[in-house]
A = this chain, B = another copy of it.
Amino acid sequence: MRNVAIVGAGMTEFGEHFELGIKDLIPMAYAECAAHVDKGIDKTDIEAAWIGELSTTDGFPAGILADTLDLTDVPVSRVENACATGNDAIRNGVLAVASGHYDVVLVVGADKVRETASNATFWEWSAMTRDGAWDYPLGLVAPANFALHVNRYLHESGATKEHMAMIAVKNHHHAVTNPKAQLRYEITVAQVLNSPMVVDPFGLYDCTPQSDGAAAVILAAEEVVQRFTDRPVWVRGVGLGMDRVMHQHKADMTTFPPTVKAARVALTMAGLTPRDVDVAEVHDCFTGVELISYEDLGFADRFEGRKLVERGEHYVGGAIPINPSGGLKAKGHPPGATGIGQCYELFKQLRGEAENQVDRARVALAHNIGGPTAVAAVTVLSNHRS
């Protein structure tokens, strides 16, 4: 498989874009992405595109990408994989470039969740990301299904709601300096613990907001990278892992097997280990999910994720900075765009251009886990080819 690099990345602000649809957000993300290509790029350089999108609130996603970017002369595919959509769209784009069929492709993620005008609503597409016959009718929307996992995890691990709150505090702290973040303010552990209950053990500040937004990356084959930049960010590994959809079929609620599988595949492909990762964007749709993911990604031993939190190692400046962008929790979570927004942040980290720059970042990891905890996607990036 030939090497593939990110040569440009861009994103809109994540937030409540009541006045915008994905027809507006996609061109905004693309414009910044193209502007980040050091030596410039023309749309005629793009040979194919992938769009990661869940909500379809504005209509036909692949067509909207082609139409709004004036890319009707190249193929556009939509990839959907619940909340792992963004990193899986990148994975599909990477495989396509690696095939040799295309040298340069665009991958865009976009979603419009807040106050949509169309017939689809947040809850309707939420149902699409889980089991429609049992889990969803029984009330297992996203907060409820993750709560089942996290409650059991707290019971078995010795971690507490305070550890979860410290993750929320950290992610809000990181977001303050990120101009793309939705919730740019500091919070305290007391605020998190006293916030209104959503579903036990999650209070309001344990939960990601609903967000609108788009993000884009341009992928190029090793052979043509130099046309676009001398500072590419290499996609060293892509992994996607699955699990049973329904919760009565999950063997162990305290771990997410899709994350374990996706990380193993992506890191093996990269020839790296979790210890090599200098910075990570981790899927913190709920604070407890970030905590469990420290272990599933190999950054902490089983049931010891809380020790990273207690020592502050998850902050920029710590041993393994997690979510320097603010994460889903404070940067926001427009599902189709989330994973690509993570890679936007890591692209900047690996080029030394991030707001919360991690010193000498050389290897970075992006991670999504999807709705019913049945899918996870991991992308491993590096500013070194091998």
By a beta-carbon cutoff of 8 Å, the part of chain A in contact with chain B is: 1, 21, 23, 56-64, 66-67, 71-82, 88, 91-92, 95-96, 98-101, 117-120, 124, 127-133, 135-136, 239-246, 249, 257, 261-262, 265, 370-372, 374-375
- Complex contacts, A133 vs chain B, CB 8 Å: 21, 23, 58-59, 117-118
Complex contact B128–A72 (CB within 8 A): no
For A82, list chain B residues within 8 Å (CB).
60, 62-63
A118 and B132: CB pair below 8 A? yes
Contact check, B119 vs A127: say whether CB atoms are below 8 A apart.
yes
A368 to chain B, nearest CB (A): 13
Whether A124 touches B120, Cβ cut-off 8 Å, given contacts A60-B82, A241-B75, is yes
Shortest Cβ distance from A371 into B: residue: B60
Cα–Cα distance between A56 and B131 once the two chains are bound (Å): 10
Give CA–CA (A57, B131) in the complex, Å: 9
Please tell me which one of the listed residues B1, B62, B135 contacts residue A242 in the complex, with CB atoms under 8 A apart: B62
Report the nearest B residue to A127, measured CB to CB.
Answer: B119
Minimal beta-carbon separation of A197 from chain B (angstroms): 26
Q: Is the CB of A75 within 8 A of B124?
A: no
B118 touches A72 (CB 8 A): no
* Chain B residue at minimal CB-CB distance from A117: B133
Q: Which residues of B contact A23 (CB under 8 A)?
A: 133
Q: Which residue of chain B lies nearest to A84 when distances are taken between CB atoms in the complex? A: B62
Query: What residues of B have a CB within 8 angstroms of the CB of A371 in the complex?
Result: 60
The residues of B that contact A77 with a CB separation of less than 8 Å are: 79, 81, 88, 91-92, 240
Cα distance A198–B201 when bound, in Å?
54
* Complex: A216 Cα to B71 Cα, angstroms: 31
Q: Which residue of the partner chain, among B88, B101, B130, contacts A60 with CB atoms under 8 Å?
A: B130
Q: In the complex, are the beta carbons of A73 and B120 less than 8 A apart? A: no
Would you give the shortest CB distance from A123 to chain B, in whole angstroms?
8
Q: Contact: B60 with A242, CB < 8 Å?
A: no
**A-B contacts, 5 listed (Cβ < 8 Å):** A59-B372, A64-B245, A72-B242, A77-B91, A95-B95
Q: A92-B92, A241-B75 are in contact. Are A59 and B128 (CB under 8 A)?
A: yes
Q: Which residues of B contact A74 (CB under 8 A)?
A: 242
Chain B residues with Cβ below 8 Å from A243 are 63, 66, 72
List B contacts of A62 (CB < 8 A): 80-82, 242, 374-375
Q: Which residue of B lies closest to A75 (CB)?
A: B240
Contacts of A119 in B (CB 8 A): 124, 127, 132
Query: Hey, which chain B residues are within 8 Å of A101, CB to CB?
Result: 1, 95, 98
Given A59-B135, A63-B245, A76-B240, output 19 extra A-B contacts at Cβ < 8 Å: A23-B133, A59-B128, A59-B129, A60-B130, A60-B375, A61-B128, A63-B82, A63-B242, A64-B131, A66-B242, A66-B243, A72-B257, A75-B91, A77-B79, A78-B81, A96-B99, A98-B99, A118-B132, A119-B124
The complex places the Cα of A96 from the Cα of B118 at a distance, in Å, of 34
Contact call B59/A131, Cβ cutoff below 8 A? yes
- Residues from chain B with a CB closer than 8 A to the CB of A91 are 75, 77
Alpha-carbon distance A75/B257, docked complex (angstroms): 12
Given contacts A101-B95, A127-B119, A130-B59, contact A239 B374 (CB under 8 A): no
Please indicate the chain B residues that have their CB under 8 angstroms from the CB of A96 in the complex: 92, 95-96, 99
The answer to whether A59 touches B118, judged by C-beta atoms less than 8 angstroms apart, is no
Which of B63, B64, B132, B242 meets A71, CB within 8 Å? B242
Q: Which A-B residue pairs are the 10 nearest by beta carbons?
A: A75-B240, A59-B132, A98-B99, A63-B374, A56-B128, A63-B245, A66-B242, A118-B132, A99-B99, A59-B131
